[in-house]
Chain A
Amino acid sequence: MKNIKLKLARVEKDLSQDELSKIVGVSRQTIGLIESGKYNPSLSLCVGICKALSRTLDDLFWEED
């Protein structure tokens, strides 16, 4: 499932996938795959992304039914 929340938060911060990936310390493709829902990130990577975007895990990774 696509992670639209992550994409929106990134765009709100005015960051490209490439810029976010550099802050978090992963490859650009990894960010792209997380946003498109094709990669399941570990908790530590989720936390890293949340910190980079000044959001909480709930904001970005909790799926409401």
Chain B
Amino acid sequence: MMNIFKRKKMITDERVENVRNKIYKEMYHVILAICLVSALFKLYKYGAGSGELYLELVIIVAGGLYYLARSIFLGVFWDEVEMHDRTSKTPMSRKTIFGTVALALIIAIFMGVNSAVSYADSSSQGIWYFVLVSFVSVMIYLPILLLFFGGIYLLAKKIGMKNSEDNKKL
């Protein structure tokens, strides 16, 4: 009688499962490619800033964020950082900071150039706009990005350390 309620343990073939995971991975790439093609098509047809690209952006960004969150909480992210630091001269922590600063500078320069080209009437005004907007952009984006990427790094580290502590107990 109890046998009805006991679920029979599913027999899984690890090779089949591995191959299936490989197919899932490829499937994700296919989906991303379709998204990209669709985004480019819409960009060509409707132009930038028409709000037609939201769905594609959500699909791409949400997929990336899901991977990031899962890899952090399963500890794989930190594993990769540790393996990277084993062989690389520049540790990942420094690379994260440099990368974040570089990204903030790129965004700031882009904003500065954009406002100088779009709104300035003379070249001296253009330079002034560029300097002003770039400076303000750095002030805004650098702390936000540092908080975001630094937060990811520290959270991953915390979880990674916790995992290795658990292993020591065993």
**Partner-B contacts on A (CB < 8 A):** 25-27, 29-30, 33, 39, 41-42, 44-45
Task: Using A27-B15, A41-B15 as known contacts, list a sample of 13 further A-B pairs with CB atoms less than 8 Å apart, ordered by residue number in A.
Answer: A25-B11, A26-B11, A26-B13, A26-B14, A26-B15, A27-B13, A29-B15, A30-B14, A30-B15, A33-B15, A41-B14, A44-B14, A45-B14
Docked pose: A65 CA to B108 CA in angstroms = 61
Bound state CA distance, A16 and B14, in angstroms? 20
Cβ–Cβ < 8 Å partners of A42 in chain B = 14
Tell me, yes or no, whether B58 is within 8 Å of chain A by CB. no
Of the listed residues B13, B14, B15, the one surrounded by the most CB atoms of chain A closer than 10 A to its CB is: B15
* Distance in angstroms between the alpha carbons of A26 and B14 in the assembled complex: 8
List B contacts of A44 (CB < 8 A).
14
Complex: chain B residue closest to A27, CB-CB: B13
Complex: how many Å from CA A41 to CA B17?
A: 12
Which residue on chain B has the smallest CB distance to residue A45? B14
Is B65 located at the chain interface by the 8 A CB criterion? no
Closest Cβ of chain B to A32, distance in Å, is 10
Whether a CB of chain A sits under 8 angstroms from the CB of B16 is yes
A-B contact pairs, 22 of them (CB 8 A): A25-B11, A25-B13, A26-B11, A26-B13, A26-B14, A26-B15, A26-B16, A27-B13, A27-B15, A27-B16, A29-B15, A30-B13, A30-B14, A30-B15, A30-B16, A33-B15, A39-B15, A41-B14, A41-B15, A42-B14, A44-B14, A45-B14
- Chain A residues with CB under 8 Å of B14's CB are 26, 30, 41-42, 44-45
User: What's the minimum C-beta distance from B19 to chain A, rounded to whole angstroms?
Assistant: 10
Task: Tell me the complex Cα distance, A39–B14, Å.
Answer: 11
Q: Chain B residues near A27: list those with CB within 8 A.
A: 13, 15-16
A24 CB to closest chain B CB, in angstroms?
9
- Give the complex CA separation of A27 and B11 in angstroms: 10
The 10 closest A-B pairs by CB, nearest first: A26-B13, A25-B11, A30-B15, A27-B13, A39-B15, A30-B13, A42-B14, A45-B14, A27-B16, A33-B15
